[in-house]
Amino acid sequence: MTDTIRLLLADDQALVRGALAALLDLEPDLEVVAQVGRGDEVVSAARESGTQVCLLDIEMPGVDGIEAAAALHRELPGVRSLIVTTFGRPGYLRRAIAAGASGFVVKDTPAGELADAVRRVHAGLRVIDPTLATESLTSGDNPLTPRESEVLRAALSGATVAAIAAQVHLSAGTVRNHLSSAIGKTSASTRAEAALIARERGWI
- Count Cβ neighbours within 10 Å for each residue of 153-164 and write b for 16 or more, e otherwise: bbbeeeeebeeb
**More confident position, 35 or 86:** 35
The pLDDT, as a whole number, for residue 138 is 58
Q: How does DSSP classify residue 197?
A: H
**What is the mean predicted confidence (pLDDT) over 46-73?**
95
Cα-Cα end-to-end distance for the chain = 44
Say if domain 146-200 classifies as CATH 3.20.20.60: no
pLDDT tens column, 162-200: 999 999 999 999 999 999 999 888 888 889 889 988 887
User: Would you say domain 5-138 falls under CATH 3.40.50.2300?
Assistant: yes
pLDDT of residue 176: 92
User: What are the φ/ψ torsions at residue 115 (nearest 5 degrees)?
Assistant: -60, -40
**What's at 175, amino acid-wise?**
V
Q: Where are the domains of the chain?
A: 5-138, 146-200
Per-residue pLDDT reduced to its tens digit, 67-113: 999 999 999 999 999 999 887 777 788 889 889 999 999 888 888 99
When pLDDT is averaged across residues 3-15 and rounded to a whole number, the result is 95
Question: For residue 2, is pLDDT > 60?
Answer: no
How far apart are alpha carbons 9 and 4 in whole angstroms?
16
In the three-class reduction of DSSP (H, G, I as helix; E, B as strand; rest coil), residue 25 is classed as helix
pLDDT at residue 1, rounded to an integer? 42
Q: Average pLDDT over the chain, rounded to whole?
A: 90
Helix (H) or strand (E) holding 147: helix 146-155
Nearest to 120 by CA among 98, 104, 144: 104
pLDDT at 82: 96
pLDDT of 19: 92
Indicate the angle between helix axes 90-99 and 65-75, nearest 10 degrees: 20
Q: Are 59 and 65 in contact (CB under 8 A)?
A: yes
pLDDT of residue 87: 72
